[in-house]
Amino acid sequence: MTGVLVLAGTPIGDVSDAPPRLLTELATADVIAAEDTRRLRRLTQALGVTPAGRVVSYFEGNEVGRTPELVEALLGGARVLLVTDAGMPSVSDPGYRLVAAAVDADVKVTAVPGPSAVLTALALSGLPVDRFTFEGFLPRKTGDRARQLASIAAEPRTMVFFEAPHRIAEALAAMAEAFGADRPAAVCRELTKTYEEVKRGPLGDLATWAAEGVRGEITVVVAGAPPAAPQELTPAELARLVAVREEAGERRKEAIAAVAAELALPKREVFDAVVAAKNEAKSEAKSEAAKGAGTGP
């Protein structure tokens, strides 16, 4: 029988947030693949756990070469526990390659849920949480970062970013330029730790604040783009939109309702535009007829 790959979430700050299952997995796994073995040692000591299995490193620099070794262990029946320095493996941390390889090898993959900087910051931000998108770390180069931010400037969902303390001021300034200085946001740093802080405000103000220097692990939450203002169309343009739908097979009543819903307008306004266009067409037709009669023999 093949083994099991276990992705385990680790505390993002306060060690006491570690779930009970994490302690069990640390104590019983055949192999523990850790992003930083020294941090793992500190974590197990703080939790009072002694790993029984083999501990190996698994980080950005060696994951390509180490993945086949871990898959071989899984195929041999080992229970492999993957942990990163904080949070859930694969989420802006090593893990994706191993998960993909395990899936390809038809190995079972499961997880031990744990603390999440993304969800914690989102909940604390005070911004809408019904729909959101995780953008991870922004590119380091100025041009690449500007292009990526420009590509999501119209994103309507709340956005969550990770950022390094020495780049946060530049990142916030770039966001203010791309999204607008008045876009609401929150900078969450040192979550669940002694000096936890959540700074809320417009991006422009946050960029000015960060210019003085910010320390710690940082998660940024930015409000999505506000809905676009209703498109202002002339009665003739509204009537043309209805006509296009009618030509496609919709009944006039349905076409009017659809156009009104699409443009967030009252159905009566669209109906009046159609009637006005129809009356104007009749009037023009009569005028042309009268001109034709006047040029006869």
- The confidence score (pLDDT) of residue 24 equals 97
C-alpha 217: how far from its chain's center? 19
Grade residue 294 by pLDDT with cuts at 50, 70 and 90: low
Whether residue 285 is predicted with pLDDT greater than 80 in this model: the reply is no
Q: Could you write out the three-class secondary structure of 143-177?
A: HHHHHHHHHCCCCCCEEEEEECCCCHHHHHHHHHH
Weakest mean pLDDT among 73-82, 171-180, 235-244: 235-244
Q: How do the domains of the chain map onto residue ranges?
A: 4-115, 138-222, 235-282
Whether residue 117 is predicted with pLDDT greater than 80 in this model: the reply is yes
Whether residue 106 is predicted with pLDDT greater than 70 in this model: the reply is yes
What is each CA distance from 239 to 233, 235, 278, in whole angstroms?
A: 10, 6, 9
Spatial neighbors of 271 by CB under 8 A, at least 6 apart, are 256
Apex 203 CA angle, 201 and 206, nearest 5: 65
Grade residue 282 by pLDDT with cuts at 50, 70 and 90: confident
Task: Report yes or no: 158 and 121 within 8 Å, Cβ to Cβ.
Answer: no
- The confidence score (pLDDT) of residue 278 equals 85
Domain 138-222 - what CATH class?
alpha beta
Task: Report yes or no: 145 and 162 within 8 Å, Cβ to Cβ.
Answer: no
Element (H, E) at 268: helix 267-294
Whether residue 296 is predicted with pLDDT greater than 60 in this model: the reply is no
Q: Residue 111's beta-bridge partner residues? A: 7
Instruction: State pLDDT tens for residues 119-153.
Output: 999 999 999 999 999 999 999 999 999 999 999 99
> What's the CA gap between 188 and 197, in Å, rounded?
6
E strands, 42-151, are 54-57, 79-83, 108-112, 132-137
C-alpha 56: how far from its chain's center? 32
> What's the CA gap between 134 and 122, in Å, rounded?
10
- The confidence score (pLDDT) of residue 187 equals 98
Whether residue 257 is predicted with pLDDT greater than 70 in this model: the reply is yes
CA atoms within 13 A on the CB side of 264: 6
Whether residue 215 is predicted with pLDDT greater than 80 in this model: the reply is yes
Instruction: State pLDDT tens for residues 148-158.
Output: 999 999 999 99
Does CATH number 3.40.1010.10 belong to domain 4-115?
Answer: yes
Whether residue 255 is predicted with pLDDT greater than 80 in this model: the reply is yes
Q: Sign of dihedral through CA atoms 120, 121, 127, 131?
A: negative
Give the ranges where 109-266 is alpha helix by DSSP (H): 117-125, 142-151, 168-179, 203-210, 235-247, 252-263
Whether residue 36 is predicted with pLDDT greater than 90 in this model: the reply is yes
pTM above threshold 0.85 = no
Task: Report yes or no: 160 and 175 within 8 Å, Cβ to Cβ.
Answer: no
- Among residues 49, 3, 1, the alpha carbon closest in space to that of 28 is found at 49
Whether residue 289 is predicted with pLDDT greater than 70 in this model: the reply is no
Instruction: State pLDDT tens for residues 164-196.
Output: 999 999 999 999 999 999 999 999 999 999 999
Give the ranges where 29-62 is alpha helix by DSSP (H): 37-47
